[in-house]
Amino acid sequence: MLAAYAARIDPEEPLSALVVGEVDEPDVPEGWVAVEVRAASLNHHDVWSLKGVGLPQERLPMILGCDAAGVDPDGNEVIVHAVISDPDWRGDESLDPKRSLLSEVHPGTLAERVAVPRHNLVPKPEELSFEQACCLPTAYLTAYRMLFTRGRLRPGQTVLVQGAAGGVASAAIALARAAGARVWATSREERKREYAVELGAHQAFESGARLPDRVDLVIETVGEATWAHSLRAVKPGGIVVVAGATSGMNPPADLSRVFFKQIEVIGSTMGTRDELGDLVAMMEATGLRPRIDRSLPLAEAADGIAAMIAGDVFGKIVLRP
């Protein structure tokens, strides 16, 4: 079958480590199923994998991709939950110390078929196309958990989303607006600030700008570049939820601000299968649809990954096997 995979690791030139070509069909262990992938979407995670972050040399070659929607062996249209937990794990899968994401230990979704535990399948509603549905399992699910589970966002509260055009950030803007929050966003670029407002932000500001008021919740995936601003922006007793650090992992901690303002700094990673089900229901109930930047044949995966590396993306990049 055709697949896009990491043939080697290259921290400097990640695109040069990508191959799109023929590979063997995936193994399907007991309790797993092979899903016919109709659409898969890219995430920054795919770039990290090509750079060797979370993907050691001994697991190569590895098919990339966390997100997919497709058809299961019984003909059901499904969305694939990307978090693979230990078969003996019970409860919140994202807390399983042995969990992995598709493409870290098990082959990923940028292929004609992907094998996953049957439990990881969530029914795809008819109203969502395969291309829309495949955008949900990583960026949208991460944003959903950050906002509503970890960030405890309530309608009427004010949320600040840092790095407005990012995959998780743009999902957070749209979901928070649909849930009745006041949404502010930051970005370094004017056209991305305009994009944030199109997505539903009430106002967009330059990165680091002084805001009209303090916020209840900050959604942080940028890291070093925005961290100090996030701690300044939040109200006393407010919450900063962190799920990524694209610009660097080691910002100054500014602990005096954390304890003096009694800020809750909360980590968040992906989400559970049940949260993915709730997210799908939210999309159905609100009519919200993921923004798709472009949809390419799987054979053109390199073009999609190059656009992500260049940061020249407004919405999700979808690949069609």
Ligand X SMILES: NC(=O)c1ccc[n+]([C@@H]2O[C@H](COP(=O)([O-])OP(=O)(O)OC[C@H]3O[C@@H](n4cnc5c(N)ncnc54)[C@H](OP(=O)(O)O)[C@@H]3O)[C@@H](O)[C@H]2O)c1
Interface residue list for ligand X (CB under 6 A): 43-45, 48, 138-139, 142, 163-169, 187-189, 192, 207, 221-222, 225-226, 243-247, 269-270, 311
Comparison of 179 and 196: residue with beta carbon closer to ligand X:
196
Comparison of 153 and 270: residue with beta carbon closer to ligand X:
270
CA nearest 187: which of 215, 213, 226? 226
Residue 299 Cβ vs ligand X, minimum distance, rounded to whole Å: 23
CB nearest ligand X: which residue? 244
Residue 141 Cβ vs ligand X, minimum distance, rounded to whole Å: 8
Comparison of 33 and 215: residue with beta carbon closer to ligand X:
215
Residue 75 Cβ vs ligand X, minimum distance, rounded to whole Å: 31
Comparison of 34 and 307: residue with beta carbon closer to ligand X:
307
Q: Using H for helix, E for strand and C for coil, what is the string for 54-121?
A: CCCHHHCCEECCCEEEEECCCCCEEEECCEECCCCCCCCHHHCCCCEECCCCCCCCCECEEEEEHHHE
Comparison of 33 and 68: residue with beta carbon closer to ligand X:
68
Are the C-beta atoms of residues 174 and 199 closer than 8 Å to each other? yes
Any idea which residue has 């399992």 for tokens? Answer: 137
Residue 185 Cβ vs ligand X, minimum distance, rounded to whole Å: 8
Are the C-beta atoms of residues 271 and 117 closer than 8 Å to each other? no
CA nearest 149: which of 54, 318, 266, 263? 266
Are the C-beta atoms of residues 125 and 280 closer than 8 Å to each other? yes
Residue 1 Cβ vs ligand X, minimum distance, rounded to whole Å: 26
85: left (phi over 0), alpha (psi -120 to 50) or beta: beta
